[in-house]
A and B are shown apart, each in its own frame.
Chain A
Amino acid sequence: MQEEKQSNSLTRQILQSISDASLVPFLAIVTAVVLGGIIIAFVGGNPLLAYRGLIEGSFGSTKALSETAVWATPYIFAGLAVALAFKGGLFNIGAEGQLAVGAVFSALIGYALPEWLGFSLPTIIHLPLAIIVGMLMGGLWAGVVGWLKAYTGGHEVINTIMMNYIALNTTSFLLNGVMKDRSPTNVIARTPLIEESSRIPAIFDGLRVHWGFVLALLVAFFIWWLLNKTTLGFEIRTVGLNPDAAQYAGINVKRTIIITMILSGMLAGMAGTIEVTGLNYRHELGFSQGYGFDAIAIALLGKSHPLGIVLASFLFAAMRNGATRMQFLTQMPVDLISMIQALILLFVAADAIVRYIYRIKSKGERVVLTRGWGG
Chain B
Amino acid sequence: MSESKVVLEAKGITKQFPGVLASDNVNFDLRKGEIHALLGENGAGKSTLMNLIYGLHLPDKGEIFVNGKQIDIHSPNDSIAAGIGMVHQHFMLIPVFTVAENVMLGDETTKNGSLDRNTVAAKITEISKQYGLDVDPNALVGPLPVGIQQRVEIVKTLYRNAEIVILDEPTAVLTPQEAEDLFRIMRDLTARGVSIIFITHKLKEVLAVADRITVMRAGRVINTVKPSETDSAQLANMMVGRQVILTVDKKDHEASGDVLNVENLIVRDQRNLETVHNVSFTVRGGEVLGIAGVQGNGQTELSEALTGLRHPTSGKVTIDGIDLTGKPPRTITEAGLAHIPEDRQRHGLVLSYTIADNMVLCDYYHAPFSSRGVLQPKALDENSRKLIKAFDVRTPSPFVNAGKLSGGNQQKVIVARELSRNNVKLVVANQPTRGLDVGSIEYIHSEIIKMRDRGVAVLLISAELDEIMALSDRIAVMYRGQIVAVVETKKTTREQLGLWMAGAHVETA
Contact = CB atoms under 8 A, between A and B. Distances in A.
Nearest to B329: A250
Interface residues of B, number: 27
B309 A247 contact: yes
Contacts of B364: 231, 234, 249
A363 to B, nearest CB: 11
A233 to B, nearest CB: 8
A252 B374 CA distance: 18
Contact of A248 (B339, B351, B352, B370): B339
> Which among B329, B350, B351, B353 has the highest number of chain A CB atoms within 10 Å?
B350
A218 interface: no
Given A245-B361, A249-B329, A238 B350 contact: yes
A231 B309 contact: no
Contact of B373 (A230, A238, A249, A250): A230
B374 A250 contact: no
Given A248-B329, A248-B339, A250-B329, A241 B373 contact: no
Nearest to A245: B350
Interface stretch (B96-104, B341-349, B434-442): B341-349
Contacts of B357: 234
B373 to A, nearest CB: 5
Contacts of A365: 351-352, 403
A259 to B, nearest CB: 13
A229 interface: yes
A242 interface: yes
B207 interface: no
A248 B328 contact: no
B365 interface: yes
A245 B352 contact: no
Given A230-B375, A231-B374, A234-B364, A250 B328 contact: yes
Interface string A297-328: 00000000000000000000000000000000
B379 to A, nearest CB: 13
Contacts of A250: 328-330, 333, 362, 365
Interface string A248-272: 1111100000000000000000000
A241 B352 contact: yes
Interface string A234-248: 100010011011111
Contacts, number: 64
A157 B6 CA distance: 58
A249 B328 contact: no
A352 interface: no
A246 B374 CA distance: 18
A247 B307 CA distance: 11
Contact of B329 (A229, A231, A232, A247): A247
> Which among A229, A241, A249 has the highest number of chain B CB atoms within 10 Å?
A249
Given A229-B374, A231-B374, A248-B339, A242 B350 contact: yes
B375 A234 contact: yes
A244 B346 contact: yes
A245 B370 CA distance: 20
Contacts of A251: 330
A248 B348 CA distance: 7
Nearest to B375: A229
Contact of B351 (A230, A242, A249, A252): A242
Given A231-B370, A249-B329, A250-B328, A244 B375 contact: no
Contacts of B329: 247-250
Nearest to A13: B399
Given A229-B374, A231-B364, A231-B373, A248 B309 contact: yes
Contacts of A242: 346, 349-351
Contacts of A229: 374-375
B346 A232 contact: no
SS of A interface (majority): helix
A245 B373 contact: no
Contacts of A246: 350
A247 B353 CA distance: 16
A341 to B, nearest CB: 29
Given A245-B361, A248-B309, A232 B373 contact: yes
Contacts of A230: 370, 373-375
A231 B376 CA distance: 10
Interface in B367-404: 370, 373-375, 403
A159 to B, nearest CB: 23
B309 A249 contact: no
Contacts of A248: 307, 309, 329, 339, 341, 347-348, 361-362
B481 to A, nearest CB: 23
Given A231-B370, A231-B373, A234-B375, A244 B347 contact: yes
A251 B362 CA distance: 8
A241 B353 contact: yes
Interface in A352-366: 365
A112 B374 CA distance: 40
Interface string A183-198: 0000000000000000
Contacts of A231: 364-365, 370, 373-375
B347 A245 contact: yes
Contacts of B373: 230-232
A234 to B, nearest CB: 6
A327 B353 CA distance: 47
Nearest to A228: B375
B328 A245 contact: no
A245 B351 CA distance: 10
A252 B347 contact: no
Nearest to B333: A250
B376 to A, nearest CB: 10
Contacts of A232: 373
Contacts of B330: 250-251
B333 A245 contact: no
A250 B373 CA distance: 16
Contacts of B352: 241, 365
Nearest to B369: A231
A241 to B, nearest CB: 5
Contacts of B374: 229-231
A4 B63 CA distance: 54
B339 to A, nearest CB: 7
A244 B350 CA distance: 9
B335 to A, nearest CB: 12
Nearest to B334: A250
Contacts of A234: 357, 364, 375
Contacts of A252: 328
B319 to A, nearest CB: 16
B6 to A, nearest CB: 43
Nearest to B370: A231
A249 B333 CA distance: 9
Interface string B402-430: 01000000000000000000000000000
Contacts of B339: 248
A234 B346 CA distance: 18
A229 B347 CA distance: 23
Closest 8 CB pairs of A and B: A250-B330, A248-B347, A249-B361, A250-B329, A242-B350, A244-B346, A249-B362, A231-B370
Given A248-B329, A250-B365, A365-B352, 6 more contacts: A230-B375, A241-B352, A244-B346, A245-B350, A249-B361, A365-B403
20 contacts: A229-B374, A231-B370, A231-B374, A234-B364, A241-B350, A241-B351, A242-B351, A244-B346, A245-B350, A246-B350, A247-B329, A248-B309, A248-B348, A248-B362, A249-B361, A249-B362, A249-B364, A250-B330, A250-B362, A252-B328
